[in-house]
Structure 1
Amino acid sequence: MTDGGSAAGGGLPVAGSSWLRRAAFRLVRLDWRAFTAMLVLNALASAAGLAGPWLLGRIIDDVRDGAGVATVDRLALALLGFALAQFVLTRHAARVGHRFGERTLARIREEYTDRVLALPVGVVERAGAGDLTMRGTADVAAVGAMLRGAGPDVLIAVVQAAFVVGAVVTLDPLLGGCGVLGLAGIWFAARWYLRRAVPAYLAEGAANSQLAEQLAATSAGARTVEALGLGPRRLETCQEAIDRCRETRTRTLSLRSVLFPIVDVSYAIPVVAVLLAGGVLLGQGSVSLGTVVAAALYLRQLSQPLDVILLNLELLQSSAASFARVEGAGLAPRADRDASAPEPADDRLEVSGVRYAYDDGPDVLHGVDLTVRPGERLAVVGPSGAGKTTLGRLLAGMDVPRSGSVTVGRVPVAGLDPARLRERVMLVTQEHHMFLGTVRDNLRIAAPEATDDEFRAALAAVGADWMDELPDGLDTEPGQESERLDGAQVQQLALARVVLADPHTLILDEATAMLDPRTARRTERALAAVLAGRTVIAIAHRLQTAHDADRVAVLQDGRLTELGTHDELVAAGGTYAALWHSWHGGGGYA
């Protein structure tokens, strides 16, 4: 992990140390009052805790000097008072710290969601659902566990340990020096662990993400796996991912198995060192018995905050790795969106000299030139792999061409901010999603201010007759097992959202593919009627769509080979004519 960040494969980057420091300071600044109060309360609690050993040493020395019972009682009451004060201050500090942690965690969740939603679709697709899900669930949960518990506890422990060491040195510099030297073993063991822990936990997080990705892919494609007999291969792939998870987990466990035994032994060394040195100094009359006892008690007291720090060291390291993965979403490449870009002059889409390649692969589009007039219905057809979907994504601003330009009203499509872009251009594919909530909630996404009558009209426009059969109408929650919608119904629900959004330009990439041919054609015609005057670009295998279009663009091997009306292209006898005759004779598909 570098300072700026790194990424493995096609996944999202992982934030580096400098980025994490800036992110942490920014989060502290956003709630600096609570953070300052937490520090002050911890300092006061630690100071109150220092009184115990010192007062006990005073009691011992006063008893040796012949002090009366009243003196001892006063010191004992003072010791009790300081203990109660430490208890109250520590509880209040923990409460403030936990509230700070919850507010900070909420900000981290919100920022992660905003960052992921702002990512280009291509980046999200390359990252994979497994990586995004693990970062947004397990990694955020790990950061939350640190902020709610380990973080405040360790902060309190660090302040307490610093105060205890300072008290020993102040009590007697020589005894304090012996105690600090005795802690050297813990220092070296912790440094050895920390150098190896962060890479180990990052590797464990990456392995968990890969396993989640493999399991998600296998589950989503279960029917395909069964149909093609891919079960053994998928099991082997998943088993390899599980083995990798086990290896990375074993690595982190082995690091702890070295750290903790060394620490357990090291706790006794400073106490023994102080007692030995104190015995010599006591014999020489350089220190009092109370001072030696107080120093030994201080160092014995030091084991409690050190225990808290070391026991939480694993969680801190794994949380730091998780925080690096969560913050890595902020380092992912983004399209150059400009909120101050000029308003497009009109709705004319122009593609000029466009070349495009996925990642570092070969070009899939080669010098495409195309102009789509406002209000035109354009069909894009061609053999599978010709580049139709890629062209649709470029027209929708989801990807940026490697060279050339894609503009709407002479403004780069990919440069518009998301809100303005979706007012101009909307892409609808056959991959639709049913969000949690009611039918009304799913429709309100597209038009928050729309009325129930407008929702029903939009559903009727796309032929969603099943709406009348739902038990609770718009209040029905389709996610429930007894009321689950099938793929075609979910697709019609998505198309109803398009009607409500009413974009200037609509790109349909096999948007009716899950409907039967008769319903698909009826839905397409209904959409055309509802969106009359709007630009509609249809990418389809059903050539009846091309027959009904104003013009047809034919793509072949990433090049625009033909452009004209249906009748013109059939008469030309080229690629489109061959597709049309094949479609007529082969049952309705290109």
Structure 2
Amino acid sequence: MTVLPVVSSQEARRHARRLVLKYPGELATVLGLHGLSTACGLTAPHLLGGLVEDVRSGIDSVSTAALLILGFVLAQSLLLGLAVSSTARLSEKVVAELREEFLEDLLRLPLARVEEAGVGDVLTRSTRDVDALARVARYALPSTLVALTTIATTVGALLLTGWLMVVPVLLLVPVLWPVTRWYLGRAREGYLRERTTYAQAAETLTETVTGARTVEALRLVPRRTERMDRAVAETYGAQRHTLWLRSVFLPVTDTAIALPTVATVILGGLAYDQGWVSLAGVTAATLYTQQLTGQIDILLFWQDKLQVGGASLARLLGVRQEADPRPAATGSGERAPGDLDLELRGASFSYTDGRDVLHSLDLTIRQGERVAVVGPSGAGKTTLGRLLTGTDLPRAGTVTVGGVPLADIPRSTLRADIALVTQDHHIFRGSVRDNLLLASPAAGEERLREALEAVGAWGWASELGLDTPLQGAGGDLAPDRAQQLSLARLLLSDPHTLVLDEATSLLSPRSARDVERSMAAVTAGRTVVSIAHRLHTAHDADRVLVMEAGRIVEDGSHTELLEKDGAYAALWRSWHATA
């Protein structure tokens, strides 16, 4: 399995920074609230240090100082609550935008690339990675922001108390610096590998579940179980590796965190004994150090989650590198009015470098023409259909409609105007009506009925009821009915060109013939390219293309090609002999 790419950590950080900086007002509010909260938190230790000094001198009342300390603690709690709330709102905005960007990039992936990567990789990026990033945004980022703000201001407060009081904190550097570098140097690759194994396990599981009947029929259960065991073992090994990283990193940091507070008490006592610092200064410095080390501990703890989030972000952004380069909503190309001819000029295509499956095709399909594409399996018929719809772009040459390259037409326009209908279909969870309205939200009752009648589905659909809920994926519809519903949805979308790739393959020959006759009336005036093994489609077409080994070897009407007595005539005789 060739998974989708992953961007570098630097690119992931740049993208995250760009997203956050898109909301300067919210960011300024968050930083301001965190700063005020931290300032209130630093005032209480200072007042407490002064209170200790005053008590030593024999002060009778501490009520004023106690009330001030209480006031600043309450103010800190209030400001911290507002800061966390503001951070959460900003984080949700960023995550929502990132989700939308990822979904857009995912929908722009070429189908061939999705098939190559496998559903497991796409599925884990859409679920595990998005969820991991959301958790980081909701919890890790706010905590990290609080910790960084507190650390910076607390160091400043320690310096004001006395430069000597900063020395104990410096004891952390020779311990934390090397272990943190060691951890960060390994964590990203470890978490990326972990997520790749999730994708492999999901791919194996999905294949087994969707092909359960085939697995049982061919007695493949032991082999599929063995393959799943290997995938789980790889996931287990990857998780143990990241667990080992945490098992080294976190205990070392937790132990090191205790050193500065102990050192502050010892050094502060010696400094007080020598008269270098007051008792108030020692008290405040000890409390500042405790506060500082606590925030450092929080910062280091969330590093693990930040590494997970960074790996997930790199995987989400990696999808963009494979996305279709065509514009999403606007493009430079404009189709000439009334000119909807499809043309291929020197078009070649390969799924694997150096192995073309289509070879320098030259072809013109006139607007409104009904063309049948026939040939043996593996001749390149389906690939030709994908090029004609812009699903795939040619390796060399051009594919145009109205003289405009399909690569320059906005995807939304292209998909609305040229539809590829394959033997695969999908029924969404919802009612029959919901599934039809996906193609045309404004369609009324009469138009829905016309579409269903056109594909021969009105009888069973009206009996079932248009508002009857469906399980989704055609789970409660027979395959032929699910395909009829998909075809009705297609007619409602009203494209000017249809490319039908075995679109009626799941229907019985009689039903398929009836549907195709009904569609012939509905598709009048549209360009229709039919790819099929059932040669009655070719008999009804204006023109027949015969493909062999990625080339068009014959081109003409049904009658002309029979008279020519070439490849098409041989296919026709063979089909009649077995029909």
Q: TM-score, normalization: structure 2? A: 0.95
1:555 matched to 2:547: yes
Matched position secondary structure for 1:511? coil
Equivalent pair of 1:135/1:325 in contact (CA under 8 Å): yes
Give the one of 275, 288, 305 matched to 1:298: 288
Equivalent pair of 2:428/2:474 in contact (CA under 8 Å): no
Matched position secondary structure for 2:219? coil
Matched position secondary structure for 1:285? coil
1:508 matched to 2:500: yes
CA distance in 2, matches of 1:499, 1:244: 47
* Residue deviations 1:345-366 (CA, integer Å, cap 9, x gap): 5121122222111132511112
Give the one of 37, 53, 60 matched to 1:69: 60
CA distance in 1, matches of 2:75, 2:177: 31
Equivalent pair of 1:146/1:315 in contact (CA under 8 Å): yes
CA distance in 1, matches of 2:466, 2:212: 32
Equivalent pair of 1:183/1:270 in contact (CA under 8 Å): no
1:518 matched to 2:510: yes
CA distance in 2, matches of 1:21, 1:260: 24
Equivalent pair of 2:260/2:293 in contact (CA under 8 Å): no
1:223-238 equivalences in 2 (<5 Å): 223-238=213-228
Matched position secondary structure for 1:304? helix
Kindly state the Cα deviation for residue 481 of structure 1 after the two structures are TM-superposed: 11
1:365 matched to 2:342: no
1:42 matched to 2:15: no
Letter in 2 for 1:455: L
- What residue number does 2:367 align with? 374
Give the one of 290, 297, 301 matched to 1:307: 297
CA distance in 1, matches of 2:434, 2:332: 32
- What residue number does 2:119 align with? 129
Equivalent pair of 2:257/2:297 in contact (CA under 8 Å): no
Kindly state the Cα deviation for residue 423 of structure 1 after the two structures are TM-superposed: 4.0
Letter in 2 for 1:556: E
- What residue number does 1:441 align with? 434
Matched position secondary structure for 1:69? coil
- What residue number does 2:461 align with? 467
Equivalent pair of 1:381/1:388 in contact (CA under 8 Å): yes
* Residue deviations 1:69-128 (CA, integer Å, cap 9, x gap): 22x322222111111111111111111111222222221211211221222222332232
Letter in 2 for 1:180: L
Matched position secondary structure for 2:359? strand
Kindly state the Cα deviation for residue 561 of structure 1 after the two structures are TM-superposed: 0.9
318-327 vs 126-135, which moves further: 126-135
Give the one of 440, 443, 446 matched to 1:450: 443
- What residue number does 2:309 align with? 319
- What residue number does 2:175 align with? 185
* Residue deviations 1:483-526 (CA, integer Å, cap 9, x gap): 82122111111111221122211110000001111000110111
CA distance in 2, matches of 1:575, 1:234: 42
CA distance in 1, matches of 2:472, 2:383: 35
Q: Percent identity?
A: 47
- What residue number does 1:284 align with? 274
Equivalent pair of 1:47/1:163 in contact (CA under 8 Å): yes
CA distance in 1, matches of 2:508, 2:335: 40
Give the one of 244, 248, 254 matched to 2:238: 248
CA distance in 2, matches of 1:483, 1:191: 52
Q: 1:225 to 1:552 in 2, by over 3 A?
A: same
Equivalent pair of 1:49/1:82 in contact (CA under 8 Å): yes
Give the one of 374, 388, 394 matched to 1:401: 394
1:583 matched to 2:541: no
* Residue deviations 1:314-349 (CA, integer Å, cap 9, x gap): 211111111111222222242444612121451211
333-342 vs 475-484, which moves further: 475-484
1:165 matched to 2:159: no
* Residue deviations 1:390-445 (CA, integer Å, cap 9, x gap): 00000111111112222212221233112322343211001111122222221122
CA distance in 2, matches of 1:147, 1:423: 37
* Residue deviations 1:514-563 (CA, integer Å, cap 9, x gap): 11110001101111111112111100011111111111111011111111
- What residue number does 1:88 align with? 78
Kindly state the Cα deviation for residue 578 of structure 1 after the two structures are TM-superposed: 1.6
* Residue deviations 1:167-200 (CA, integer Å, cap 9, x gap): 1222110121232234542333222211111111
Matched position secondary structure for 2:555? strand
CA distance in 2, matches of 1:120, 1:495: 23
1:493 matched to 2:485: yes
CA distance in 1, matches of 2:403, 2:173: 69
Structure 2 regions of 5+ residues with no counterpart?
Answer: none
Equivalent pair of 1:507/1:539 in contact (CA under 8 Å): yes
Q: TM-score, normalization: structure 1? A: 0.93
- What residue number does 1:3 align with? none
In angstroms, what is the RMSD of aligned CA positions?
A: 1.9
Matched position secondary structure for 1:474? coil
How many residue pairs end up in the alignment? 575
1:117 matched to 2:107: yes
Kindly state the Cα deviation for residue 244 of structure 1 after the two structures are TM-superposed: 1.2
Give the one of 91, 98, 102 matched to 2:88: 98
CA distance in 2, matches of 1:57, 1:420: 70
- What residue number does 2:48 align with? 56
Matched position secondary structure for 1:374? coil
Q: 1:399 to 1:549 in 2, by over 3 A?
A: same
CA distance in 1, matches of 2:560, 2:359: 24
Give the one of 545, 553, 562 matched to 1:570: 562
CA distance in 1, matches of 2:16, 2:166: 34
Kindly state the Cα deviation for residue 480 of structure 1 after the two structures are TM-superposed: 7.1
1:209-224 equivalences in 2 (<5 Å): 209-224=199-214
* Residue deviations 1:234-293 (CA, integer Å, cap 9, x gap): 222222221111111011100010012111221221122222322322222111223222
Equivalent pair of 1:120/1:335 in contact (CA under 8 Å): no
Letter in 1 for 2:303: L
- What residue number does 1:5 align with? none
Q: 1:481 to 1:119 in 2, by over 3 A?
A: closer
CA distance in 2, matches of 1:383, 1:232: 35
CA distance in 1, matches of 2:416, 2:559: 33
- What residue number does 2:345 align with? 352
Letter in 1 for 2:417: R
- What residue number does 2:324 align with? 334
- What residue number does 2:25 align with? 33
149-158 vs 341-350, which moves further: 341-350
Kindly state the Cα deviation for residue 461 of structure 1 after the two structures are TM-superposed: 0.4
560-569 vs 231-240, which moves further: 231-240
Q: 1:542 to 1:480 in 2, by over 3 A?
A: closer
CA distance in 1, matches of 2:474, 2:487: 23
CA distance in 1, matches of 2:472, 2:234: 37
Give the one of 521, 526, 529 matched to 1:529: 521
Q: 1:144 to 1:501 in 2, by over 3 A?
A: same
CA distance in 2, matches of 1:483, 1:426: 24
CA distance in 1, matches of 2:36, 2:181: 29
Matched position secondary structure for 1:134? helix
Letter in 2 for 1:175: M
* Residue deviations 1:208-252 (CA, integer Å, cap 9, x gap): 112111211221122222233333332222222211111110111
Equivalent pair of 1:428/1:506 in contact (CA under 8 Å): yes
Equivalent pair of 1:165/1:180 in contact (CA under 8 Å): no
